Amino acid sequence: MVALDGIDLAVEEGHILGIVGPNGAGKSTALHALLGLVACEGSVRVLGKDPRRERNRLMREVSFITDVAVLPRWIRVGQLLDYVAGVHPRFDRAKAEGFLARGGIRSADQVRRLSKGTVTQLHLAVVMAIDAKLLVLDEPTLGLDPLARKQFYDALLHDYFDHTRTIVVTTHQIGEIQDVLTDFAFLNAGQIVLTGTMEAFESRYAQLRVHPGRLDAARALGSIHERHVLDRSILLFDGADRERLEMLGDARRPTLGDLFVAAMEGGSRRMEVAR
């Protein structure tokens, strides 16, 4: 069975890439291939190294985290710090303890007695205390409530990211990461459907809620996707003149989720890579 097929993807230093796709799209497999955890064909280079042959050296510069809710419930905070200090050479225990002190988390606290939000803080403290060049996050906020998810990404952006580190994150919760990303890649059924920069996305795409009687005129401008909500048609455009759109309905900038829906429903056949 082929989980990924013809993936061609590059991430520049100091960027935050979001790999977005439905469950089963191949997101986790893509990350595992990047880190040498699964066999794959083709060329793979991460921080200048081939993860299939130099994984031990590579992982000295990488921090890889899956679901933040998977910490052992029996472990105490101090024991967790002991473990991370023993397995990652770039872990700064004093820095982690400083982050924990800000959140009122004590070394003797046991994970089972912490709230989900506090477990998130604990996981972040460990992450941000690792001086890694590349941080890889696989659905990191799965199972967390909306407030905890927001706190996770806010802390990641403001306390960890410094424009020299690179972050790759997978998710199917698009709305929560749109304001964090510099780049995105839509993945479906093992293939990349669309890639782009957030800068290009914000300048290129527009969404139009068409006024009654103006649908044919709007379609004539070359929409790349169309959907219907109640009694109105909503069209997505790539590079259309904003003033012309505003004559035909209510124009606004779409969300990344709007573009994702268009790509998943076949609009990507008319999209170019948004670079």
Quick: pLDDT tens for 146-199: 887 888 888 888 888 888 899 999 988 888 889 999 999 999 888 899 999 999
Answer yes or no: are the C-beta atoms of 208 and 234 closer than 8 Å: yes
Helices 77-87 and 93-102, packing angle to 10 deg: 150
Tokens at residue 36, please?
A: 């040498």
Quick: pLDDT tens for 190-243: 889 999 999 999 999 999 999 999 999 999 999 999 999 888 899 999 999 999
Give CA–CA dist 59/54, Å, rounded. Answer: 9
- In the prediction, which pLDDT does 16 show? 95
Give CA–CA dist 160/124, Å, rounded. Answer: 9
Say yes or no to pLDDT of 265 above 70. yes
Residue of 82, 46, 45, 77 lying closest to 64 (CA atoms): 46
Say yes or no to pLDDT of 274 above 50. no
Tokens at residue 199, please?
A: 């800068």
- In the prediction, which pLDDT does 135 show? 92
Say yes or no to pLDDT of 272 above 50. no
CA–chain centroid gap for 61, Å, is 20
Answer yes or no: are the C-beta atoms of 123 and 92 closer than 8 Å: no
CATH superfamily of 16-189: P-loop containing nucleotide triphosphate hydrolases (3.40.50.300)
Residue 145: DSSP 8-state: -
- Report helix, strand or coil for 212: coil
Q: Which residue's structure tokens are 């795409």?
A: 205
> What is the helix (H) or strand (E) element at residue 177, kind and residue range?
none
- In the prediction, which pLDDT does 146 show? 83
Give the chain's mean pLDDT. Answer: 88
DSSP calls for 23-54: TTSSHHHHHHHHTTSS---S---BTTB-TTT-
Say yes or no to pLDDT of 64 above 80. yes
Start-end of H helices in 103-233: 116-128, 146-155, 198-204, 215-219
> Which range has the worst mean pLDDT, 46-55, 119-128, 163-172?
119-128
Percentages helix, strand, coil for the chain (3-state, rounded to 5) are 35, 25, 40
- Report helix, strand or coil for 148: helix
- Report helix, strand or coil for 233: strand
Among the ranges 28-37, 39-48, 215-224, 262-271, which has the highest mean pLDDT value?
Answer: 215-224
Give CA–CA dist 127/135, Å, rounded. Answer: 8
Sign of CA dihedral 91, 93, 94, 100: positive
Give CA–CA dist 59/35, Å, rounded. Answer: 8
Quick: pLDDT tens for 102-118: 889 999 999 999 987 78
Instruction: Quickly state the pLDDT bin for 275 (edges 50, 70, 90).
Output: very low
- In the prediction, which pLDDT does 49 show? 92
So where are the chain's domains?
16-189, 199-270
- In the prediction, which pLDDT does 230 show? 83
Instruction: Quickly state the pLDDT bin for 269 (edges 50, 70, 90).
Output: very low
Mean pLDDT value across residues 257-268: 83
- CA distance from start to end of the chain: 32
